[in-house]
Amino acid sequence: MEIRLMTIKDYDKVYDLWMNTPGMGLNNLDDSREGIEKYLRRNPATCFVAEGEGRITGIILSGHDGRRGFIHHTAVLAGERGQGIGKALVSHALEALEQEGIHKVSLVVFQENKLGNAFWESQGFAVRDDLYFRNKSITELIRIDT
């Protein structure tokens, strides 16, 4: 297995992985080829894929606003879980964010995603009970169920 920077050339394989991972929370704009290409241009050194035997087995999108880091859409192929791929992706992302001067990272996981929540807790990410997560769509987004 190799961990390397994601490029837009990886999009089709990454999107297929996302579509085969329940609970990803994708939408038609932000997660389109154009949306991911924009994210990669803004965050060229912080998004990674795990690749083995010519296929993408894991993905992590991470980036920052100059002050705080954010992690999005992390996934590992179901048959490849438990081999350290997710942990390696997180390690690469955190190291890349630290190289860019970022000291704190946030992410969002759906409450019902027991597997995801257990993974993030094992990686040292704590639940914040003192916050409410709020968002507002500026443009109408269509959710893509996985």
pLDDT digits (tens, 9 = 90+) for 80-136: 999 999 999 999 999 999 999 999 999 999 999 999 999 999 999 999 999 988 988
Which pLDDT does position 23 carry in this prediction?
84
CATH class of the region 2-144: alpha beta
Which pLDDT does position 46 carry in this prediction?
98
Which pLDDT does position 49 carry in this prediction?
98
Rounded Cα distance, 51 and 55, in Å: 6
- Is the pLDDT assigned to residue 12 strictly greater than 90? yes
- Is the pLDDT assigned to residue 34 strictly greater than 80? yes
For the chain, the three-class secondary structure string (H helix, E strand, C coil) is: CEEEECCHHHHHHHHHHHHCCCCCCEECCCCCHHHHHHHHHHCCCCCEEEEECCEEEEEEEEEECCCCEEEEEEEECHHHCCCCHHHHHHHHHHHHHHHCCCCCEEECCCCCCHHHHHHHHHCCCCCCCCCCCCCCCCCCCCEECC
Mean pLDDT of 29-42: 97
Which pLDDT does position 146 carry in this prediction?
77
The three-point CA angle 33-38-40 to 5° equals 95
Rounded Cα distance, 53 and 46, in Å: 23
pLDDT top residue among 4 and 54: 4
pTM confidence score:
0.94
Which pLDDT does position 83 carry in this prediction?
96
Q: Where are the domains of the chain?
A: 2-144
**Predicted confidence (pLDDT) per residue in 36-80, tens digit:** 999 999 999 999 999 998 899 999 999 999 999 999 999 999 999
CB 26 within 8 A of CB 64: no
- Is the pLDDT assigned to residue 31 strictly greater than 90? yes
